[in-house]
Amino acid sequence: MNAAASSSSSRPVRGAAVPVPSLSADETGAVADETFQRHTSPSLRRGGAGVAVVWFRNDLRVLDNEALVRAWAASEAVLPVFCVDPRIFEGSTHYFGFPKTAALRAQFLVECVGDLKYNLKKKGLDLLVRTGKPEEILPTIAKAVSAHTVYAQKETCSEELFVEGLVRKGLEQVQITQGGTSGQKKSPNPRLQLIWGATMYHIDDLPFTVNNLPDVYTQFRKAVESKSSVRNCSKLPPSLGPPPSYGLDEIGGWGAIPTLESLGLSVTKSEKGMHFKGGENAALGRVHEYFWKKDQLKVYKETRNGMLGPDYSTKFSPWLASGSLSPRYICEEVKRYEKQRVANDSTYWVLFELIWRDYFKFLSAKYGNSIFHLGGPRKVVSKWSQDQALFESWRDGRTGYPLIDANMMELSATGFMSNRGRQIVCSFLVRDMGIDWRMGAEWFETCLLDYDPASNYGNWTYGAGVGNDPREDRYFSIPKQAKTYDPEGEYVSYWLPELRSLAKERRNFPGASYIRQIVPLKFDGGNQKKDQQFNRQRRPNMYRR
């Protein structure tokens, strides 16, 4: 990696927070309109009858949403629904007691839901929003509108699978009668139809079954690149309407999008770092901005290891995680850019990284709950500490190592951290501190705007050396990382302004000018504290794991 290239293209940002994307509302609207237009096919026909419900989950988009288009094709009317599940939004905690969803991600998701409603309205529909558990809400709605099917995106991790199972059971209890009081006719129960839609390569196009997925990423990548191809984005009809003509009043109308206050949360907006806007329109705007307007795609491979500013990497991850952005759409745009501008290592590398994302998603289907367990998929037995004071110094950015502290502060303030930063803080926590990696993973789960169970726990198990690939066991040396990726201390002094007065080469090595280092560097297994809690493989108070 070329550190100079990294810092020049990502020149910050000394003061105020930077919006991502930075396009005006008009520009974003124009990009979204043009993109929708390009993906609309007037020749699409619907051949179904009755009503179909679409249950939106981590697929908060209209463009390239196969569940939505399939529901439209199989019905005369579609009812889109989003459930604000209290198990995700309201005060639920993880095993280690952190909130399930911190305010910044909740805010981002609320914006995504609002934008989805807006885009559905433009397409002749609306979004029904309810607070409660999907397994309680969806059967009631399906009954009120006499739906024959509930369509939803298929998920892979156990919390999501658990809810899918309950929804299916709930729908089995629904009795739908048709034809009024005289001559009532019973219809079959509504069914739950789950559609694959989260990855760039479709699960059905893999050259192996998920159970036979290679355990080494390179083998997976080479196999899909040579034997599979990425499907085109699904086309949209000019209108997705109408919504159902009856039943909505009975269930209280369309409902309102929650506010953060109604979720019991409040955000203090950071005056620094990046401020991501939630929603499909912002996502499409960011793709346009990064690829076409700023022309950053052609240098991605040289800049992607940066840490400061909006443009060293794509910043697509928050929208990908919420499903406001389709990975197939990104692939399509990369190909278009390669045709119209340039095809080089950088343009390919974005797809290379998206294959990592796919890989973790498929791995989570293969390995199930073991990605959440201390020993990981390989059931590695090793000793970990749960020392609270050490952990809190890491979490709060008080370790005495500027590179760690700056990254952890960025995470708390913005909900984002670069990939370079994530690898460094993960290595420090598990190798230098010897702390139970699940504490770090759960803190990331709480804070990250782009939190995705498969990518988060997949990367943490790799970092902790308990991942499926036994060869991945890497130590990140902080001095080396600092010299390579932040040689002038620009990043650390941005987040730790007290270091700005030091000479550039000292900012990452401030000695007594900064707080004391909480542990010496280099992982030393012999110095770990014994802790009764360790090796706990089960998480009994979780419904997921």
Ligand X SMILES: Cc1cc2nc3c(=O)[nH]c(=O)nc-3n(C[C@H](O)[C@H](O)[C@H](O)COP(=O)(O)OP(=O)(O)OC[C@H]3O[C@@H](n4cnc5c(N)ncnc54)[C@H](O)[C@@H]3O)c2cc1C
Of 64 and 452, which has the nearer Cβ to ligand X? Answer: 452
Give the residue among 544, 526, 545, 525 at the shortest CA–CA distance from 536: 545
E strand map for 100-198 = 128-131, 147-153, 176-178, 185-187, 191-195
Min dist CB 236 to ligand X, Å, is: 23
Of 46 and 544, which has the nearer Cβ to ligand X? Answer: 544
Instruction: Tell me how far apart the alpha carbons of residues 247 and 77 are, in angstroms, rounded to a whole number.
Output: 12
Min dist CB 353 to ligand X, Å, is: 3
Instruction: Tell me how far apart the alpha carbons of residues 463 and 422 are, in angstroms, rounded to a whole number.
Output: 10
By the 8 A CB rule, do 276 and 325 touch? no
DSSP 43: T
Neighbours of 506 (CB within 10 A): 15
Min dist CB 371 to ligand X, Å, is: 12
Which residues have CB under 8 Å from 464's CB, separation 6+? 376, 426, 430, 437
Of 236 and 283, which has the nearer Cβ to ligand X? Answer: 283
Instruction: Tell me how far apart the alpha carbons of residues 433 and 281 are, in angstroms, rounded to a whole number.
Output: 42
Q: Residue 392 corresponds to which tokens in the numbers above? A: 């809190």
Q: How far is CA 262 from each of CA 110, 198, 359, 412, 510, rounded to the nearest angstrom? A: 11, 29, 37, 22, 44
Question: How big is the chain, counted in residues?
Answer: 545
Min dist CB 126 to ligand X, Å, is: 30
Of 142 and 330, which has the nearer Cβ to ligand X? Answer: 330
By the 8 A CB rule, do 477 and 428 touch? no
Min dist CB 448 to ligand X, Å, is: 5
Of 314 and 399, which has the nearer Cβ to ligand X? Answer: 314
Q: How far is CA 429 from each of CA 28, 232, 384, 392, 461, rounded to the nearest angstrom? A: 40, 41, 11, 11, 13
Instruction: Tell me how far apart the alpha carbons of residues 327 and 334 are, in angstroms, rounded to a whole number.
Output: 11
Of 36 and 217, which has the nearer Cβ to ligand X? Answer: 217
Min dist CB 128 to ligand X, Å, is: 28
115: helix, strand or coil: helix
Residues 507, 511, 513, 518, CA torsion sign: positive
Instruction: Tell me how far apart the alpha carbons of residues 315 and 320 are, in angstroms, rounded to a whole number.
Output: 10
Min dist CB 109 to ligand X, Å, is: 14
Residues that bind ligand X (CB under 6 A): 304, 313-317, 320-321, 350, 353-354, 356-357, 360, 418-419, 422-423, 426, 444, 448, 450-452, 455-456, 459-460, 463
Q: Residue 469 corresponds to which tokens in the numbers above? A: 């690939």
Of 102 and 426, which has the nearer Cβ to ligand X? Answer: 426
Min dist CB 100 to ligand X, Å, is: 14
Min dist CB 508 to ligand X, Å, is: 20
Of 23 and 125, which has the nearer Cβ to ligand X? Answer: 23
Which residue is associated with the tokens 């080089």? 344
Instruction: Tell me how far apart the alpha carbons of residues 54 and 410 are, in angstroms, rounded to a whole number.
Output: 36
Instruction: Tell me how far apart the alpha carbons of residues 433 and 415 are, in angstroms, rounded to a whole number.
Output: 23
Of 56 and 462, which has the nearer Cβ to ligand X? Answer: 462
Neighbours of 408 (CB within 10 A): 25
Min dist CB 461 to ligand X, Å, is: 9
Of 72 and 437, which has the nearer Cβ to ligand X? Answer: 437
Min dist CB 315 to ligand X, Å, is: 4
Which residues have CB under 8 Å from 182's CB, separation 6+? none
Give the residue among 55, 244, 54, 51 at the shortest CA–CA distance from 134: 55
Binding-site positions: 300, 313-317, 353-360, 450-452
Stated as kind and residue range, the H or E segment containing 217 is: helix 217-227
Binding-site positions for FAD: 300, 313-317, 353-360, 450-452
Of 78 and 354, which has the nearer Cβ to ligand X? Answer: 354
By the 8 A CB rule, do 116 and 55 touch? no
Count Cα atoms within 13 angstroms, Cβ side, for 292: 16
